Amino acid sequence: MAHGSAPVKHPSVSRMSSAAYRDAVAQIIRRVQKDHGLNDGQLATRLACSASTIRNARTGATNLDAAILINIERQFGPGAIDPYLALANARAIPIEPPALDAPPTLAIVEALHRLIETQTPDSDGGGSTTPRELLAILKELRGARSAFDALILIADPPPASGEKGFRHKNPKRLAVVRTEGDDVAHARIFESRAGLGQ
């Protein structure tokens, strides 16, 4: 350190406790079992471990091996271990766009429609969405998240994939549409082969 310079201060980061880790893992196990109708033995078979390992993880008795956590994510899809990743304020997204049963916009619109329904005056929470209402549409919310992830990965694939993101592809087209009521009054398509910002 140079003479007279002040020491570098790093932001303090709270350390994760073993209890928080075990709670997150227990939540993962319980959610996977509930969503897929699996008991301890059946889940253990899927993950190539013992039923006692699953039971101990579900009850928070012991720490779960990281390799089993990864197997949970691989077996049950991106997001399966999000309660664990949430301890680092993160979540999992797929490297490859997930296979969708329908156009991604349909999943997004369906989730949005269900979400709006939770905010009608005659819903459980009136104008506010309650956790119970969100739980009831969790499948649609996850479907929308997968759809958004697929669209994001198409537009901006991870660096390791070698695929160019949309912003680096040519040509680029932009449609400008002006409407009057329900009618399209004017539409024009602009095309550019230059990169964005050039």
Per-residue pLDDT, averaged over 42-53, amounts to 96
> Helix crossing, 66-76 with 40-47: angle to 10°?
90
Give me the pLDDT at residue 47, please. 96
* Least confident window among 30-39, 65-74, 104-113, 144-153: 144-153
pLDDT digits (tens, 9 = 90+) for 96-142: 655 666 677 888 898 999 999 998 888 888 888 898 899 888 888 88
- pLDDT bucket at 43, cuts 50 / 70 / 90: very high
Round to whole Å and give the CA distance between 82 and 195: 36
Could you give the angle at the alpha carbon of 69 between the alpha carbons of 83 and 43, nearest 5°?
Answer: 100
Give me the pLDDT at residue 10, please. 55
Contact 146, 107 (CB under 8 A): yes
Nearest to 86 by CA among 38, 25, 147, 155: 25
Radius of gyration of the chain (CA): 23
Residue whose entry in the numeric block shows the structure tokens 């089993």: 68
What are the phi and psi torsion angles at 43 (to 5°)? -65, -40
Round to whole Å and give the CA distance between 23 and 61: 10
Other C-beta atoms within 10 Å of 38: how many? Answer: 18
Hey, what domains does the chain have and what are their CATH numbers? Answer: 18-88 (1.10.260), 104-161 (no CATH), 164-198 (no CATH)
Q: Residue 190 pairs with which residues in a beta bridge?
A: 174
The model carries a pTM of: 0.54
Round to whole Å and give the CA distance between 75 and 106: 25
pLDDT digits (tens, 9 = 90+) for 153-197: 777 766 655 666 555 555 555 555 566 665 666 666 555 554 433
